[in-house]
Amino acid sequence: MNTISNTHWPWDVLGIESDADERAVRRAYARLLKQQRPDEDAEAFQRLRYAYESALQMVGSGAAKGSDTVPGEANAEGAEAAVLIEPAQNPAIRLATQPVPANASEVQAACEPDAFEIAVQLWQNFVTQADDLGSRRSLQDLFAAVVNLATRDELEWQALCHCLNEDTPARLRMNLSAVLGWRDNAMHLRRRNAAIAALALDRVFADEDYDALRLRFTNAMALLEGPVPQMAAGAGALLRAGVRAEMEQLLIALGRYHPNVVRLRLDAGKVDFWGRCLKFRIGAGRLFGPALALNAWCGLLFASASLNHNRGRWFDQWSPAQLGILLSTLMLALVTIATTTVLLSEPQQQKLRALRAIGWLRYGWVPVWLGATAVALCDDGSGRSTSIAMATLGGCTIWAALVYGWPPVKELAILAAVSATALGFAGHWIAADPRAWLMPYAHGVLFAFFISFSQAEWREWVARRPRVFWACAPFWFVGFSALIVLLVQREARATQYAWALFAVMSAAGGVLATTHWSDLRGAVPAFFRGYANLVWMVLAIYKPDIVACVSAGVMSVWVIEGGRRRAG
């Protein structure tokens, strides 16, 4: 056993010398077990476990052989072992290549006790010959020379376990699979140890699939294995003839049929990068379209805010200054998109994603939006507060888009229009200040961003902290009572305060409880559903105060239901 180098299986895995005793093997296993937990790296744990079992078996067989040998026979037995552990270039390995006895009991008695140790020695002698590792003929000669069935099975298992090593050449793995036919017949290996066999075969088949993909997708694999360029350079590389289609086919093949190649042979970050390059190349129109439309809307808000607030905010009041503000906003959108999407490298993209995850940057626009809306609703009639709020809401829209991305314009527009109209904001602003006709829809756009992205995250945060819910719920009902009292007074200033309060409550209601606005349609028969929606919209435009009270009351019911679920 001392002839085995400490760079070979299983001693290299355990990090001990090949002449270690059973106690040293167990200590090494206990030490490494603290570093390689099965729940963190199952593959490394399985490799460590099998190395531990193999070392114990080898130590046990060596101790038994030493205790059974009488002193007078020690030299003779050592000479016989030297013949058995002869280098692999000698094809005459006596015991391993002896004919199989006809009697099955003789096979078990003569061969099985030494099959494991002989197989270990044969394989270790083979891997020490660096020139033979890349030769398929040498593997064929090795397994052809072993005619003992038990020894051959052990030798095949040793070869499979060797494939688990990180430094095993890929050519050796592929040659083993070709010589032993693992692609078509590996059930005997899985029956012996399913976990070890699965891990080793995954590595073998990943090498074979990787080699086949390199031959089939030459240009795409060259890009995938090369350094990661900037997004613009990557999109330009895909413009070359045939490369985009080839990369698309390669990524489909990797995702559907060869996930182990990505896991074991390729860099998953590079695969993700070229996937984004491909999507950017295909969907550039869908990317720039929503961004330009949304920034055109923000430019309209900035231009309208710059108008004289004592006059109208209609397009006939525009001057070259307002047109310049609109075009400058669009230019800013193009620069922002090019910077954040195209020009930044992959490490810079990762830093940008980490920056977007910072709490005050991700959610800071929400209190700014609600505060600006409340200030605009409490405008004293001069229009100055409305102008400032309008510009602030435009900035919040760009802020939210940079954090969460550019949503589909159609869905955003529908949700914004419904939020602005169905909750009564449009009706109130039209009645109170027709010159501020843009404000309810600016508020509706941000309300759509809040419902689509932030509301669920805030709701999960509150759900993990029950004390926050029980602390905020009383304030909700105090606000609901104040809303009713202010609206009943029928005074202009009281109504303004009521709507400022309702703007905050309409957003807070979706955080404290799960709102089910769409479920209300189920209470109306399908035949009358369209008429009910029409009546509600008319009521929201002409009697927005009633709509605010009803909406706040329905949300109060949902808050009570949420409290009951938490208490139960």
Q: What is the DSSP letter of 100?
A: P
Model pLDDT, residue 270: 87
62 has a pLDDT exceeding 60: no
- Helix (H, G, I), strand (E, B), or coil: what is residue 442? helix
Q: What is the per-residue pLDDT for 5? A: 39
pLDDT at 285: 53
Within this chain, do residues 185 and 233 fall inside the same structural domain, yes or no?
no
The residue-averaged pLDDT of 250-269 equals: 89
- Region 339-349 average pLDDT: 70
Residue 295, classified by CB atoms within 10 Å of its CB into exposed (0-12), middle (13-18) or buried (19+), is buried
Contacts of 104 (CB under 8 A, 6+ apart): none
Looking at the structure, tell me whether residues 105 and 118 fall in a common domain: yes
Instruction: Tell me: pLDDT of 78 over 50.
Output: no
Which range among 144-158, 182-196, 268-282, 479-493 shows the weakest confidence by mean pLDDT?
268-282
35-49, 82-96, 243-257, 533-547: range with lowest mean pLDDT: 82-96
Are 294 and 271 in the same domain?
Answer: no
Q: Considering 206, 231, 251, which residue would you say is the last residue of a domain? A: 206
pLDDT of residue 232: 67
Greater model confidence, 283 or 135:
135
Average pLDDT over residues 352-363: 86
pLDDT (tens digit, 9 = 90+) per residue, 479-500? 999 999 999 888 888 999 999 9
Both structure tokens of 470: 């029980």
CA 16 to chain centre: 39
What number is the average pLDDT over the span 271-293? 71
* Same domain (yes/no): 197, 332: no
pLDDT at res. 18: 77
Residues 482 and 359 in one domain: yes
- Best-predicted range by mean pLDDT (294-308, 330-344, 389-403): 389-403
pLDDT digits (tens, 9 = 90+) for 111-133: 344 788 888 888 888 888 877 77
The predicted pLDDT at position 330 comes to: 85
Residues 446 and 499 in one domain: yes
Would 375 be classed as within a structural domain? Answer: yes
* Cβ–Cβ under 8 Å, residues 370 and 503: yes
Q: Are residues 482 and 397 in the same domain?
A: yes
- Residue-wise pLDDT for 204-227, tens only, equals 999 999 999 999 998 889 888 888
Predicted pLDDT at 444:
93
- Structure token digits, residue 9: 């299986």
- pLDDT of the residue at 346: 66
Residue 411 or 170, more confident? 170
pLDDT at position 315: 67
Q: Which residue has the higher pLDDT, 561 or 76?
A: 561
SS3 378: coil
pLDDT of amino acid 109: 37
**Percentage of the residues of the chain whose pLDDT score is greater than 90:** 18
Boundary-marking domain end, from 185, 206, 227 = 206
In a domain, residue 1? The reply is: no
Confidence at 343, pLDDT banded by 50, 70, 90:
low
pLDDT score of 196? 85
Answer whether 0.95 is exceeded by the pTM: no
Residue 4 falls inside a structural domain: no
Q: What is the residue-wise DSSP string for 258-293?
A: -HHHHHHTS-HHHHHHHHHHHHHHHSHHHHHHHHHH
Q: Assess contact for 175 and 215: CB atoms under 8 A.
A: no
Give the helix ranges, DSSP H, for 513-567.
526-542, 544-567
What is the C-alpha separation between 93 and 145, in angstroms, rounded?
Answer: 8
**Domain presence at residue 212:** no
pLDDT digits (tens, 9 = 90+) for 370-428: 999 999 999 887 788 888 999 999 999 989 988 887 777 788 888 898 889 999 999 99
Burial of residue 194 (CB within 10 Å: 0-12, 13-18, 19+) is exposed
- Token pair in block for residue 355: 């920056």
In-domain check, residue 295: yes
| 5 lies in some domain | no
Determine the average pLDDT of the residues in 350-379: 89
What mean pLDDT is reported for the chain? 79
Do residue 74 and residue 120 come from a single domain?
yes
Domain that includes residue 265, residue range: 217-282
Domain finish residue from 174, 206, 238: 206
Q: Are residues 169 and 291 in the same domain?
A: no
**Residues 274 and 127 grouped into a single domain:** no
Contact in structure between 180 and 143 (CB atoms under 8 Å): yes
Is 157 or 29 the better-scoring residue by pLDDT? 157
Q: Is residue 325 part of a domain?
A: yes
CA distances from 497 to 367, 380, 433, 440, 447 (A): 17, 11, 15, 16, 19
Residues 273 and 288 in one domain: no
State residue 184's pLDDT score. Answer: 87
Say how many domains are in the chain: 3
